[in-house]
Each structure stands twice: as structure tokens, then as C-alpha cells.
């Protein structure tokens, strides 16, 4: 299939040619025709799969070909979970709108509210936004959504995980009319809240699954190293920095303070590193991301803030200094490398505190992951093993003579064992003993392997 098969406007075709894209990616191939027919859509797609164009092209086509429902209201609204992602989508959108009659604006949290009010007064055709700030403007009547034709929710799972359901519902309700089309993208479709939300929002949606968050990214080599403690992790990191041939690298840490600490440490060693954390204000975040994407620094140290969607083509290495708490973030983090067909390396450091996350990732990827070793930096830590499930205490049958017959009766049946089970009212439930599945293993249920 070629882009020319979609029947896109020739202005869009010439931009695609200018960008040098030869053929549609799988998500574009599947989603563009469905969206162009006006259907609602729920789609899953892998990171870096080209899904931004899968919604920008039908949106542009719709605006070029259809009369607006309103002269003042925005026609297309694109919502994204983070400011960085929204900026990235906005950049791609602007390629198509710059030489057209359509105005596109970006409305993000953390930026000047009054400037945004003025921007909204200019009656843009496209709004790209994060949901919290946009909902604030909507509540205050700075714009209306009665004429909205197309609502696009990107990374819907993440928006819901971040607690934006209320704002998304408010936005949806403000634009709930018969002619509205909705396109919903999510890293995974196995997400109960996404499915419930899709049921509430979408009208007879078409469902498209392209790859899955579980599936392997062939261009990324994954390596795992056992570590004893923080010092050991740092020593391994220094080894990789000295021995790996990297263009740019992203190091993910578990906490904001580690982000700062590591970036300072690396800078003190003469490396070109910068920290990105949620504590910074928006303009500082923008500055850091702009600088890094232009190659001004070689290393970005960050938390999961930068794990999703960011399109940084020169990132050859991702290092999980700490494993992510949420399993699916692993796939998003490593997806920052190996973009658009280039190769990438993802190195993960697994210490005792990372063990559970590591096992969860292993389960999530549905494969058994092996450990590599660096000569001279081998770990004595070998992993944790699940504790044997504790035997539930048997309900003792009282033999105290003083106990009345009545009380003794209440302990019947004798010699039967009651185990803690799901609460089904007041009754204890008799169950067979269950062994714990690996995914049920909790932090406090582990013993170290000798
Ligand atoms: P996305 O998943 O939308 O973030 O896109 C990932 C990268 O793929 C971006 O750099 C896009 O510019 C690029 N891209 C999008 N569509 C195509 C295509 N059909 N062929 C080649 N690259 C593409």
C-alpha cells in the first residue's frame, strides 16, 4: 500500500513526499482509511510506529474537505498525557498547517494562563493540549466545543493512569454531539479503564491492534546486569559510559533526587549530561528537551517523565539505572531508542530492590531473560526467590473442658483446615491450598537466594 492509495489531498501528499516517507507504516495503513471514513476508532500501537501521522492526516483531510460546524469553535482537539508529547505532536502538526488556512495552537499546563486565553480568543482550528489545563479553560468559558468535529485521545491509558478521567469526561461532555468523531490510541487495549472509557465515549468503534506493548522491538538489544547495591550500579554505569559506543543516551532512575545526583556526578566526570525531572517548570523542561534533541548534551538523566513517545532519533542507548515500577513503562523506556528503523541498546541494572520489577517485566514480555556480566564487576547478588507460601493456621478445635457444648459445636467441622480466602460475606471459605503465581509475589514474600 502507498500513501497515494488513501486518496489524500495533494497538499498533504506533497508534504509526505517532502518528509521522504515512502510507504505508510502498519498503523497508518490500518487506521487512516478507517478514520477517513468517519468511524470512531480504538487502536493500540507500538511506540515509534508512526501513529501521530495516522491521526494528523485524516484530521487535515477532514478539515480541507468538510465545511466547519462552527466558525469559531475548534474543529480538532488532540489530547496528550504529557507536555513533552504534546509539543512533539504539535511540531508534526505544524508541518502540515503552516502553509494552510488552518491555525493550530498548543495549550499546556505550567505555561502562562493569560497568554493562553488570548491564543484561544483567536479561534484556532486545532488545539493540541494536556487535559488538565484545557479543562480549566473550558470551565472558565475561554472556548467552546459545540463545533468540535474530531476528538483525538493519544496515550489514553497513560492519561487515565495519571488521573485525568474527570477532565476527559468534562471535555467529552462539552463536545458530545452526533457528528463528532473520536479516535482513541492506547499503548495497550488490555486496560480495563481504557475499555470502560472507550465504551462511554466511542460510537460503534472499529478496533485496531498493531503489535502489542508486549511484543519485542527487533531493533533493540536488551541486556540485563545483576548489581549488589548503588555503588555497584554506578561502577557499571561508568563502565558502560567508557566502553559503549553511544550517540546519545537516556538514563532512567526511580526518583527525582537520583536524577539530579547522577547528572551532577556525570557532569563532574567531564561528561555532557543533563537532568530532566518533574520538579522543573515548563520552560526549563522545554529548554532541556530542546537542547537534548538538538544534541547539545549526550546524556539525559530522567524519570519515567520521558519514557513515552518522545521521538529522539539519535538516542542509541537507554540505561535503566533502576527498573521501572510499572511494568509497561519498560517497553516505553526502551522504545526511546531504536527509533524509525535504527538500532538501539537497552541496558538494565537489576539490584535487590529491582528484582520484583525485573520478574514482572519477564512475565510481561513472556520470555525468560538472561543476565550478562562485566569482567571485574560481577555481582554476588543472584536474585531473589519466592518465599514458600506460609501454611495458613488451622482453626484450632478447642478441647477445653470448660467450653460449653454449644461453643464446641460452633467449631465444627473438626480437623478441617480453613484458609484465608476471598471475602464472601461472613462465611469462612474452605479452599485448597494455592501456590503463589510469580506475579503474585509481593515484596515482603521473598528470600534471598544463598
Ligand atoms: P510516532 O510514532 O508518530 O512518534 O513516529 C515515529 C517516527 O516515525 C517519527 O519520526 C515520524 O516522523 C516517523 N514516521 C512517521 N510515519 C512514517 C513513515 N510512513 N515512514 C517513515 N517514517 C515515518
Distance CA 320, CA 309 (A): 17
According to DSSP H, which parts of 175-218 are helical? 192-201
Same domain for 279 and 140: no
pLDDT for residue 123 is more than 60 = yes
Q: Which residue has the least CA distance to atom 10 on ligand 1?
A: 311
Same domain for 201 and 54: yes
Mutate to test the pocket of ligand 1, among 25, 50, 57 (most ligand atoms within 8 A of CB): 50
Same domain for 252 and 271: yes
- 92, part of any domain: yes
Q: What is the pLDDT, as a whole number, of residue 212?
A: 56
Same domain for 290 and 203: no
Report whether 332 contacts 307 (CB < 8 A). Answer: yes
Cell (9 digits) for 439 = 506475579
439 vs 170, more confident:
170
- 301 Cβ contact partners less than 8 Å away, ≥ 6 residues apart: 250, 251, 253, 259, 262, 263, 266, 273, 274, 275, 276
pLDDT for residue 434 is more than 80 = no
Residue 244 Cα distances to 210, 238, 317, angstroms: 32, 10, 9
Q: Which residue has the least CA distance to atom 20 on ligand 1?
A: 21
Q: Which residue has the least CA distance to atom 13 on ligand 1?
A: 50
Ligand 1 centre to CA of 325 (Å) is: 28
Distance CA 124, CA 401 (A): 85
Mean pLDDT taken over the chain: 83
Same domain for 178 and 109: yes
CATH code for the domain of 224: 3.40.50.300
- CA angle (98, 102, 103) in 5-degree steps: 80
Ligand 1 centre to CA of 340 (Å) is: 6
Q: How confident is the model at residue 287 (pLDDT cuts 50, 70, 90)?
A: confident
Same domain for 237 and 188: no
Same domain for 185 and 239: no
Atom of ligand 1 nearest to the CA of 313: 10
CA proximity to 187, closest of 171, 205, 211: 211
- 3-class SS of residue 222: strand
Distance CA 130, CA 155 (A): 11
pLDDT for residue 397 is more than 80 = no
Is the full-model pTM beyond 0.95? no
- 416, part of any domain: no
Q: What is the pLDDT, as a whole number, of residue 47?
A: 65
Domain boundary among 191, 210, 229: 210
Same domain for 125 and 107: yes
- 116, part of any domain: yes
Ligand 1 centre to CA of 92 (Å) is: 10
Task: Render 55-115 in DSSP notation, one character per residue.
Answer: HHHHHHHHHHHS--S-SSS-SEEEE-SSHHHHHHHHHHHHHHHTTSS--EEEE-TTS-HHH
Ligand 1 centre to CA of 311 (Å) is: 9
Atom of ligand 1 nearest to the CA of 3: 19
Q: What is the pLDDT, as a whole number, of residue 191?
A: 74
Domain boundary among 210, 245, 267: 210
* Pocket of ligand 1 from Cβ distances under 6 Å: 21, 24-25, 28, 48-53, 309, 311, 340
Q: What is the pLDDT, as a whole number, of residue 365?
A: 80
The residues with which 128 forms a beta bridge, in sequence order, are 78, 106
Rg (CA), the chain: 26
Same domain for 148 and 37: yes
Q: Which residue has the least CA distance to atom 18 on ligand 1?
A: 21
pLDDT for residue 76 is more than 50 = yes
- 334, part of any domain: yes
- 431, part of any domain: no
Same domain for 295 and 171: no
Q: What is the count of structural domains for the chain?
A: 2
Q: In what order do the strands lie in the sheet with 273-276?
A: 220-226, 344-350, 315-320, 248-252, 299-302, 273-276
Alpha-carbon dihedral sign for residues 257, 259, 262, 266:
negative
- 182, part of any domain: yes
Q: What is the pLDDT, as a whole number, of residue 389?
A: 64
Q: How confident is the model at residue 409 (pLDDT cuts 50, 70, 90)?
A: very low
Domain boundary among 302, 336, 365: 365
Give the residue numbers spanning the domain of 46: 3-210
Alpha-carbon dihedral sign for residues 180, 93, 317, 351:
negative
- 115, part of any domain: yes
Amino acid at each position: 500500500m502507498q500513501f497515494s492509495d488513501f486518496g489524500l489531498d495533494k497538499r498533504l501528499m506533497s508534504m509526505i513526499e517532502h518528509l521522504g516517507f515512502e510507504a505508510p507504516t502498519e498503523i497508518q495503513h490500518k487506521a487512516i482509511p478507517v478514520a477517513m471514513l468517519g468511524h470512531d476508532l480504538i487502536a493500540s500501537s507500538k511506540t515509534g510506529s508512526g501513529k501521530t501521522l495516522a491521526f494528523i492526516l485524516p484530521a487535515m483531510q477532514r478539515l480541507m474537505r468538510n465545511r466547519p460546524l462552527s466558525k469559531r469553535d475548534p474543529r480538532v482537539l488532540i489530547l496528550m498525557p504529557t507536555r513533552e508529547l504534546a509539543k512533539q505532536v504539535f511540531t508534526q502538526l505544524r508541518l502540515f498547517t503552516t502553509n494552510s488556512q488552518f491555525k493550530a495552537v498548543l495549550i499546556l499546563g505550567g505555561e502562562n494562563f493569560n497568554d493562553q486565553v488570548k491564543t484561544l480568543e483567536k479561534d484556532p482550528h486545532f488545539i493540541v493540549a494536556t487535559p488538565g489545563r484545557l479543562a480549566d479553560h473550558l470551565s472558565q468559558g475561554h472556548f467552546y466545543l459545540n463545533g468540535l468535529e474530531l476528538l483525538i485521545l493519544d496515550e489514553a491509558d497513560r492519561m487515565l493512569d495519571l488521573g485525568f478521567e474527570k477532565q476527559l469526561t468534562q471535555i467529552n461532555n462539552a463536545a458530545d454531539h452526533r457528528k463528532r468523531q473520536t479516535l482513541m490510541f492506547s499503548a495497550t487495549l488490555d486496560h480495563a479503564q481504557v475499555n470502560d472509557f472507550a465504551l462511554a465515549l466511542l460510537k460503534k468503534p472499529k478496533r485496531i491492534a498493531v503489535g502489542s506493548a508486549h511484543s519485542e522491538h527487533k531493533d533493540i538489544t536488551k541486556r540485563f546486569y545483576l548489581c549488589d547495591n548503588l555503588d555497584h550500579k554506578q561502577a557499571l554505569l561508568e563502565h558502560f559510559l567508557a566502553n559503549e559506543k553511544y550517540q546519545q543516551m537516556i538514563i532512567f532512575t526511580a526518583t527525582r533526587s537520583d536524577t539530579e545526583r547522577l547528572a551532577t556526578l556525570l557532569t563532574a566526570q567531564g561528561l555532557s549530561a543533563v537532568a530532566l525531572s518533574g520538579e522543573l517548570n515548563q520552560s526549563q523542561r522545554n529548554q532541556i528537551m530542546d537542547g537534548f534533541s538538538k544534541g547539545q548534551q549526550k546524556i539525559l538523566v530522567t524519570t519515567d517523565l520521558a519514557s513515552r513517545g518522545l521521538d529522539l532519533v539519535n538516542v542509541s542507548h537507554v540505561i535503566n539505572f533502576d527498573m521501572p515500577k510499572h511494568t509497561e513503562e519498560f517497553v516505553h523506556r526502551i522504545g526511546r531508542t531504536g527509533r524509525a528503523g535504527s538500532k538501539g541498546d537497552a541496558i538494565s541494572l537489576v539490584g535487590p530492590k529491582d528484582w520484583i520489577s525485573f520478574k514482572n517485566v519477564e512475565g510481561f514480555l513472556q520470555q525468560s531473560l538472561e543476565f550478562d556480566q562485566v569482567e571485574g564487576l560481577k555481582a554476588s547478588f543472584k536474585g531473589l526467590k519466592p518465599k514458600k507460601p506460609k501454611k495458613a493456621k488451622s482453626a484450632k478445635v478447642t478441647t477445653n473442658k470448660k467450653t460449653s457444648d454449644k461453643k464446641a459445636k460452633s467449631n465444627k467441622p473438626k480437623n478441617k483446615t480453613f484458609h484465608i480466602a476471598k471475602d464472601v460475606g461472613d462465611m469462612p471459605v474452605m479452599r485448597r491450598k494455592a501456590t503463589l503465581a510469580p506475579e503474585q509475589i509481593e515484596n515482603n514474600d521473598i528470600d534471598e537466594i544463598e
